[in-house]
Structure 1
Amino acid sequence: MGIARRDLLKWSAGVGGAAVLGGGIALPSSTAWGAVRTTPRGLPTDDWMSRLDGNLSLLDLTIPGTHDSCCENPDYGTEWSHTQNWGIPQQLQEGVRFLDIRCNGLQGAPDELGIYHSDAYQHLRLQDVLDRCRSFLQAHPGETIVMRLRNERAGGQALGDEEFMRRVNHYFDAFGYRSLFHFYGWPTLDTARGKVVLLADFANPWGLIDWSSGQNEYFDTQDVWQIGGLDPLGAKGRYITAQFDKAFGNPSYPKMFVNFLSYAGGYWPKTSSQSLMDRAVYPYLNARTQQRARFGIVPMDFPDFHVNVLQMLIDKNVV
C-alpha cells in the first residue's frame, strides 16, 4: 500500500491540521470548537435542516453521514479500524446527519451496550452517544439525526438476538431514551425534527425501519467493501457514481438510497478514502454543483479531510 505507519499517524492528528481535498484544495481539517462553517450555498452546517421545507420526506433529502462513526482513536483497535477524526459532537456541528453506531455487550454491565468496531471496544457506551445526540438536538431543534443501530455480533461481548433486543428496550425505558426516537416509517422533516430516526440493524419483531446492506422495502444500499481485480478502488468508484446516478434518475423512488463512500478490501481507511474522493467522488459532485439531488444517505470516512465533499452533499438539498 506504500504508506508508512508514521505518515498515517501524522494524518490521524486531523484536528488542527490541514487536509488536501479533492481537486487539490487545501483546507483546515477542523474549525475552532464553537465556530460554525457555512456551505457555498449559505447553509450553516450546524443548522442546515432547519432551512428546509418541513413537508419534505427524509426520502427527498441528501443526508451526509459517517461510517463506523465512533472509531476516532486508533489506540482502540488499529489504523485498520480507524475511520474518523471528529467525535460525534463535531460531526453533527459540521453537518453530518447520519450516524453508524455498532454495539456489542458491555463487559461488567449486564444491561448496557458498548460501541465497537468488530471486537474492538471504542471506550464509549451507547448512552454516551445518545446523550451527545440529545444535547445537539436540544440546541438545534430544527435538525434530525438518522441512526443505524447495529448488533455487531463480534468477540467475547457478542450478543444473541433476544439479549440485544432486551438491552435496547432497557435503554428505551429504564434509561429513558424512548422519547428521543422516531421509530416507524420514513417521516417528514417536520415530524423528525428534534428526534433520532432509528434504523434497526438488529433482529426485532417491532415493525421498525429495518436496515439492509442491499435491498429491502426500506433501502437501496451500495456498500461494496471488498472487490477483486487489479484496480478495486477504481471499481468501487464506479459503484459509487452508479448509485448517485440511480438516485438522481429516480426522484420518486419509494426507498432510501444509501451510498457508502468507504472501502476496506485490504486498504487502510485513509488510503482508500483519499483515493476514492480524488478519483471518483469529488469530480462527480464538482461537475454537478448546480443540480439539486436526493442522493439519500451518504456515509463516509474522515469527512474532516473532505470538507468540500461534505458541504457539496449538504448543498444538494437547496440547489
Structure 2
Amino acid sequence: MGIARRDLLRWGAGAGGAAAVGSLFGVPSAARASGTSTTPGGLATDSWMGRLDGNLSLLDLTVPGTHDSCCQNPWYGTEWSHTQNWGLPQQLQEGVRFLDIRCNGLEGAPDELGIYHADAYQHLRLQDVLDQCRSFLQAHPGETVLMRLKNEHAGGQALDDTEFQRRVNHYLDDLGYRALFHLYGWPTLGAARGKVVLIADFANPWGLIGWSSGQNDWFDTQDVWQISGLDPLGEKGRDIVAQFDKAFLNPTYPRMFVNFLSYAGGYWPKTSSQTLMDRAVYPYLNARTGQRARFGIVPMDFPDFHVNVLQMLIDKNFV
C-alpha cells in the first residue's frame, strides 16, 4: 500500500526522516565525482548520440528521459511532487535526451511561462530551461533533446489555449528561440542534431508533432499512473514490460513508442520508482543485455538512483 501523507510529513521531519531516506535509497549519484560518465558499453553519456549514424530516424532510437523533469526541490510542492534530484544540466550530461516540461503562466510576467507541477511553481522559467538546453547543445553539437511542452492548465496561473499559443510564439519570435527548435515531423538524427525537437502537448493550429498519452498519429504511449486493486505496482510493472515487448517486436512501427517508468497512484515517488525498477525494469533489461532494441522514449523518476537502467537504455542503441 502507499504511504499516507500524514506519515510522509512525520517521517520527513528532522534528522530521523533524513536518515530513513538515506538508508533506503543510498547516496544519490549526483554526489559522484565530477567528470564524464561512461556506460557499460564504453559510451560517454554526454555525447552518445554523436556516435550514431545521422541517417537514423529518431523513431529508430531508445531515448532515456525524465518525468516531470524540473521537479527537483520538494519545497516547491511536496515530496509527492518531487520526481528528480538532478537538475537539467546534469540530466543532459548523464545521457537523458527527453525532457517533460510543464508550464502555466508566470505570475507578474504577462508574456512568460513558468515551470509547474500542477499548480506548484518550480522556480524556473521556460527561458531558463531553453537556455540550459541551448548551452548543452552548443557544447555537444552531435546531440539532440526531445521536449514535451505541456500546458499544465492548473491553479491561478492556468492559461487558455489561445493565450498559451501567444506566449509560445513570444518565445519563438520575440525572444529569439525559434532557431533552437525542430518543429515539424519526426526528423533524422542528423537533421535534429544541435536542436530541441518540440513535442506539443498543447492545442495549436500549427501542425507540430502532437503528444498523446495514449495513441495518435505520432505516439504509442504507456503512461498508466493510477491503478486500483491489490497490487497496482505489479500491474504497472506488467504494463511497462508489455510496452517494451511491443516496441521490440515492431521495429518498423511508424509511431514513437513512449514507456513511462514512473507511477503515482498514492505512492511516494521514490518508493514506487524503486519497486518498479527492482521488480520489472532492471530484470527485463538485464536479461536482454547485448540485444539491440528500439524502445522509443523511456521517461523515469530519479535516474540518479537508477544509473544502471539509464545507461542500459543508452547502450540499447549500439549493441
TM-score of the superposed pair, with normalisation by structure 2? 0.94
Give the gaps of 5 or more residues in structure 1.
21-25
Name the CA shift for 1:163/1:221 in 2 (closer, same or farther; >3 Å): same
Could you tell me how far apart the structure 2 residues matched to 1:134 and 1:282 are?
A: 32
> Contact 2:63–2:314 at 8 Å: present in 1 too?
yes
Superposed CA RMSD in Å reads 1.7
Name the CA shift for 1:11/1:99 in 2 (closer, same or farther; >3 Å): farther
Could you tell me how far apart the structure 2 residues matched to 1:211 and 1:183 are?
A: 13
The answer to whether 1:32 aligns with 2:33 is yes
Letter in 2 for 1:229: G
The answer to whether 1:185 aligns with 2:192 is no
Letter in 1 for 2:12: R
Give the Å deviation of 1:248: 0.1
Could you tell me how far apart the structure 1 residues matched to 2:302 and 2:29 are?
A: 13
Could you tell me how far apart the structure 1 residues matched to 2:52 and 2:111 are?
A: 39
> Contact 1:19–1:29 at 8 Å: present in 2 too?
no
Could you tell me how far apart the structure 2 residues matched to 1:8 and 1:241 are?
A: 33
Give the Å deviation of 1:10: 5.1
> Contact 2:106–2:157 at 8 Å: present in 1 too?
yes
Could you tell me how far apart the structure 1 residues matched to 2:87 and 2:39 are?
A: 20
Q: Which residue matches 1:5?
A: 12
Could you tell me how far apart the structure 2 residues matched to 1:283 and 1:250 are?
A: 21
Secondary structure of 1:46's aligned partner: coil
> Contact 1:30–1:304 at 8 Å: present in 2 too?
no
Name the CA shift for 1:27/1:79 in 2 (closer, same or farther; >3 Å): closer
Q: Which residue matches 1:53?
A: 53
Could you tell me how far apart the structure 1 residues matched to 2:21 and 2:122 are?
A: 16
Q: Which residue matches 1:246?
A: 246
Secondary structure of 2:317's aligned partner: coil
Name the CA shift for 1:263/1:27 in 2 (closer, same or farther; >3 Å): closer
Structure with greater helix percent: 2
Could you tell me how far apart the structure 2 residues matched to 1:54 and 1:138 are?
A: 17
Letter in 2 for 1:227: I
Give the Å deviation of 1:5: 2.5
Secondary structure of 2:63's aligned partner: strand
Identity fraction in percent: 79
Give the Å deviation of 1:290: 1.2
Could you tell me how far apart the structure 2 residues matched to 1:158 and 1:201 are?
A: 15
Q: Which residue matches 1:23?
A: none
> Contact 1:29–1:305 at 8 Å: present in 2 too?
no
Give the gaps of 5 or more residues in structure 2.
none
Give the Å deviation of 1:18: 9.9
Q: Which residue matches 1:226?
A: 226
Could you tell me how far apart the structure 1 residues matched to 2:136 and 2:39 are?
A: 19
Secondary structure of 2:279's aligned partner: helix
> Contact 1:19–1:304 at 8 Å: present in 2 too?
no
Deviation track 1:49-80 (CA, whole Å, cap 9, x = no partner) reads: 00001100000000000000000000000000
Give the Å deviation of 1:28: 3.8
Give the Å deviation of 1:12: 7.2
Q: Which residue matches 1:216?
A: 216
Q: Which residue matches 1:112?
A: 112
For this pair of structures, how many residues does the alignment match?
A: 310
> Contact 2:114–2:121 at 8 Å: present in 1 too?
yes
Could you tell me how far apart the structure 1 residues matched to 2:21 and 2:213 are?
A: 28
Taking the TM superposition and a 5 Å limit, the aligned residue runs for 1:1-319 are 1=2, 4-6=11-13, 9=18, 19=25, 28-33=29-34, 35-319=35-319
Runs of 4+ in structure 1 deviating by more than 6 angstroms, as ranges, are none
> Contact 1:225–1:264 at 8 Å: present in 2 too?
yes
> Contact 2:30–2:85 at 8 Å: present in 1 too?
no
Name the CA shift for 1:8/1:158 in 2 (closer, same or farther; >3 Å): farther
Letter in 2 for 1:147: M
Give the Å deviation of 1:31: 3.0
